[in-house]
Structure formats: C-alpha cells, structure tokens
Amino acid sequence: MSENTVPRPDILAAMPIPDEIRADMVDMITKSAGTVWQRPAIPPAQRSMMTISVLGTVGRLEELRTHINMGLDNGLSRLEICEVIMQLGVYAGMPAASAAFRIASAVFAERDA
C-alpha cells in the first residue's frame, strides 16, 4: 500500500462530496488522513480510540458513526469503545457521552441485525 492511500476506499466512496470537487477532496483526505493513519508508532486500534474520543467530544456524530465502525474493524471491542465514550464524558461532559452512546448503540444494533 502506498504511503498516501487510505486503507478504507469504501469510506471515501460513501462520503457525500459534490462531484464538482470530489476528486480534489478525496486526494486531500488521502494525503492527510491516510498518511496519519498509516504511521507506525500508534496501532490502528489506538488511533480509533483517539478518533472516537475527539469526534464524540466535538459532536461530529455522523463521522463518529463511521469511526465506531472502523474501530470495531480495527479490533476494538464494544466494551473498549464504551470505555472511551465514558472517559470522554468525564472530560467533555455527559451530554457529549450520551450522544456518543446513542451512536455506538445504533452501530452495535446494526451489526447485530
């Protein structure tokens, strides 16, 4: 895999980006996020934990859904994801944790269906 490719092209394909700018935006995401996710010092599961925490903290719930799924795909357990959300509640507030738990519960239910 090239150092500038995102390992999840399905996520890029599903992003709602207008056709007029899609190619440029995908290129930018690939070069920035793709490069960061492939750095060797932090394993993908740990990167998923950090990303879930940040997205839950700032209330980016649509992206949080994507990254909870990615976290599960990267080997996180449901309990680990819940622990991350509990931790973010302590530092970012319980409303942020409640919103993140709603998303996590929905993702878990979708995977169980």
Q: Is the pLDDT of residue 4 over 50?
A: no
End-to-end C-alpha distance for the chain, whole angstroms = 33
- Sequence-ordered list of residues with C-beta below 8 angstroms from that of 53, at least 6 positions apart, any chain: 84, 85, 87, 88
Q: Could you tell me the pLDDT band of residue 6, with boundaries at 50, 70 and 90? A: low
CA distances from 11 to 42, 56, 79, 91, 97 (A): 21, 19, 24, 29, 24
* pLDDT over 70, % of the chain: 94
Q: Which residue, among 62, 73, 70, has the nearest Cα to 103 in the 3D structure?
A: 62
pLDDT score for 81 = 98
Per-residue pLDDT, averaged over 38-62, amounts to 95
pLDDT score for 7 = 59
At 61-96, the pLDDT tens digits run: 999 999 999 999 999 999 999 999 999 999 999 999
| Residue 49 and residue 18 in contact, taking contact as beta carbons nearer than 8 Å | no
Which alpha helices (H) appear in 1-113, and where do they start and end? 9-14, 22-37, 44-58, 61-73, 78-92, 94-112
Class of domain 44-112: mainly alpha
- What is the residue-averaged pLDDT of the chain? 90
Per-residue pLDDT, averaged over 86-111, amounts to 98
Q: Is the pLDDT of residue 3 over 50?
A: no
